[in-house]
């Protein structure tokens, strides 16, 4: 039992034991001007008053429940059935984390197994792990898998410029010091054919996004064939919800499919926690990082679930590990499992169709406005780019006066897309909201 010093003698003994004269001497490493700050805290108030004050602060926030919401760029406002949160709050799931003991973790392990099965069905791949932290991490782990598959002998990674810019930043951060050349995303106008020309015998991975960061839907069959012909792995970053409508990446010859699982029943939550989807072909399963739950039978012939094929640094010698990633998003993966199960095949398709149709209606109406023009050519999913007559920040600030959260300012990530807005429309945006956005854009466009 730890003894807490509470008398002058106790404190003196403690200070003598650590070799200092005063308690203040323990803080000498902290700069003096911040060592003992005067916090100027308000006087104490009751719990009732605290809750009232916090409620007032929260009501000053802009949120997707009280504003029309058209911001996406990787995190999306979708309807989440009540059963998702209800299931997460059950004690057997809510407190479960690491199912190291299968004999007492069968429920959690089965949930992970079901998640994996649903992801493989969506992506058309052979096997899925039990998730990574987020979509960006999953893409970085795809680079590691490809490098390990080629025994680090191939040094070129080709990334499409239409992959989420933050994902590409994470890949570069992850792979610092690995001696890889990351290229292909320097020119925004690069097409799949342009990326194919960069592939050679030194290429370890080619990665694209589907639908891409700008919402465009491309056919990557030729690029996948070019990558596979050169012995490189082909990775597709997906929005999993779009796969309720679009053909799976497996039909492009994808070797790895990754993505952000947030659209599958996970709230915006100020940017996280989210869910990194990672699926691949059977032949790469031993190079895949993260948890993998398998189905087996016990000594009595009854069905059971266990963690299997886990080449993680916690399970084997560090130098033999495929990755040093140490955990998965178990609770968030459960949310995605419940969401996909409840929605079902037809429900996912219906949501995807609503997103697609509403986005095309919005783009068509905005494109009619003076000073605005649709940047996208061809088909897109639920995001599109609009060239605007004024700086995006100014337009978005004024849209707030109409209780509208506008789109993403693409000039933050692409210099050539200054004054271009990435607008997202989901099933949550009714026709009245879209029409209000069009009317508001017309009013603020030339203010």
Residues 331 and 348 reside in one and the same domain: no
- The closest of 125, 135, 117 to 341, measured between CA atoms, is 117
Residues 263 and 348 reside in one and the same domain: no
Sheet with strand 420-424: strands edge to edge: 373-374, 383-387, 420-424, 408-409
Q: Give a yes or no: residue 18 inside a domain.
A: no
pLDDT at 418 over 70: yes
pLDDT at 12 over 90: no
21-25, 36-40, 104-108, 245-249: range with highest mean pLDDT: 245-249
Contact 117, 259 (CB under 8 A): no
- Of 210 and 317, the structure prediction assigns the larger pLDDT to 210
DSSP state of 13: H
Residues 328 and 354 reside in one and the same domain: no
> In the predicted model, what is the mean pLDDT of the chain?
92
Residues 294 and 358 reside in one and the same domain: no
The β-bridge relationship of strands 181-183 and 127-128 is unpaired
Residue 1: pLDDT band with limits 50, 70, 90: very low
- Count of domains in the chain? 2
Give the separation between CA 190 and CA 171, rounded to whole angstroms: 19
Q: Domain range spanning residue 432?
A: 68-79+344-444
What pLDDT shows up at residue 327?
A: 73
Structural domain ending residue among the three candidates 339, 370, 402: 339
CATH code of the domain in which 159 resides: 3.40.640.10
Structural domain ending residue among the three candidates 274, 307, 339: 339
- Residue 199 exposed, middle or buried by CB count within 10 Å (0-12, 13-18, 19+): buried
Average pLDDT of span 78-94: 90
Residues 287 and 419 reside in one and the same domain: no
Residues 208 and 255 reside in one and the same domain: yes
Residues 323 and 273 reside in one and the same domain: yes
Residues 267 and 351 reside in one and the same domain: no
Residues 131 and 262 reside in one and the same domain: yes
Give the separation between CA 429 and CA 426, rounded to whole angstroms: 6
Q: Give a yes or no: residue 6 inside a domain.
A: no
Residue 5: pLDDT band with limits 50, 70, 90: low
pLDDT at 97 over 70: no
Give the separation between CA 408 and CA 396, rounded to whole angstroms: 9
- What residues form DSSP beta bridges with 405? 69
- Predicted TM-score (pTM) of the model is 0.89
- Residue 76 exposed, middle or buried by CB count within 10 Å (0-12, 13-18, 19+): buried
> 68: helix, coil or strand?
strand
CATH code of the domain in which 361 resides: 3.90.1150.10
Query: What share of the chain in percent tops pLDDT 90?
Result: 74
What tens digit of pLDDT does each residue of 149-204 get?
Answer: 998 999 999 999 999 999 999 999 999 989 999 999 999 999 999 999 999 999 99
pLDDT at 111 over 60: yes
In three-state form (DSSP H/G/I as H, E/B as E, the rest C), the secondary structure along 152-168 is: CCCCEEEECCCCCHHHH
pLDDT at 390 over 90: yes
Structural domain ending residue among the three candidates 283, 312, 339: 339
Residue 313: pLDDT band with limits 50, 70, 90: very low
Q: Token pair of 70, please?
A: 């058209």
Query: How is the chain split among helix, strand and coil, in percent rounded to 5?
Result: 45, 15, 40
pLDDT at 364 over 60: yes
Residues 262 and 350 reside in one and the same domain: no
The verdict on whether omega for the bond into residue 97 sits within 30 degrees of 0, i.e. cis, is no
> 212: helix, coil or strand?
coil
- Among the residue ranges 90-94, 150-154, 280-284, 295-299, the one predicted with the least confidence is 90-94
């Amino acid at each position: 039992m730890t003894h807490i010093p509470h008398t002058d003698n106790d404190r003196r003994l403690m200070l003598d034991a650590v070799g200092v004269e005063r308690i203040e001497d323990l803080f000498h490493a902290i700069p003096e001007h911040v060592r003992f700050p005067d916090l100027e805290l308000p006087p104490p108030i009751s719990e009732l008053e605290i809750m009232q004050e916090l409620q007032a602060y929260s009501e000053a926030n802009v949120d997707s429940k009280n504003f029309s919401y058209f911001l996406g760029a990787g995190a999306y406002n979708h309807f989440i059935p009540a059963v998702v949160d209800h299931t997460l709050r059950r004690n057997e799931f809510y407190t479960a984390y690491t199912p190291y003991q299968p004999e007492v973790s069968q429920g959690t392990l089965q949930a992970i197994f079901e998640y994996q099965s649903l992801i493989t069905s969506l992506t058309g791949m052979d096997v899925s792990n039990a998730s990574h932290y987020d979509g960006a991490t999953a893409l970085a782990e795809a680079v590691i898998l490809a490098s390990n598959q080629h025994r680090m002998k191939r040094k070129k990674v080709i990334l499409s410029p239409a992959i989420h810019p933050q994902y590409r930043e994470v890949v570069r951060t992850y792979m610092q010091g690995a001696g890889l050349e990351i290229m292909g995303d320097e020119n925004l106008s690069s097409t799949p054919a342009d990326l194919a020309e960069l592939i050679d015998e030194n290429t370890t991975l080619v990665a694209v996004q589907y639908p891409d960061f700008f919402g465009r839907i491309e056919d990557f069959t030729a690029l996948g064939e070019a990558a596979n012909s050169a012995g490189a792995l082909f990775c597709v970053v997906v929005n999993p919800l779009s796969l309720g409508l679009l053909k799976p990446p497996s039909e492009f010859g994808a070797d790895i499919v990754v993505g952000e699982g947030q659209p599958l029943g996970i709230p915006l939550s100020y940017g996280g926690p989210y869910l990194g989807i990672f699926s691949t072909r059977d032949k790469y399963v031993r190079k895949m990082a993260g948890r993998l739950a398998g189905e087996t039978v016990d000594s009595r012939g009854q069905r059971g679930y266990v963690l299997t094929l886990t080449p993680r640094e916690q399970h084997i010698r560090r130098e033999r590990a495929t990755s040093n990633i140490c955990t998965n998003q178990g609770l968030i993966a459960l949310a995605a499992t419940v969401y996909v199960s409840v929605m079902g095949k037809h429900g996912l398709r219906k949501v995807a169709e609503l997103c697609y149709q509403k986005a095309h209606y919005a783009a068509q109406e905005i494109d009619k406005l003076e000073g605005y023009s649709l940047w996208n050519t061809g088909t897109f999913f639920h995001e599109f780019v609009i060239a605007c007559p004024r700086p995006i920040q100014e337009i978005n600030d004024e849209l707030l006066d109409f209780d509208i959260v506008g789109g993403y300012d693409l000039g933050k990530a692409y210099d050539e897309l200054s004054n271009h807005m990435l607008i997202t429309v989901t099933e949550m945006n009714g026709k009245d909201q879209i029409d209000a956005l069009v009317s508001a854009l017309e009013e603020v466009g030339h203010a």
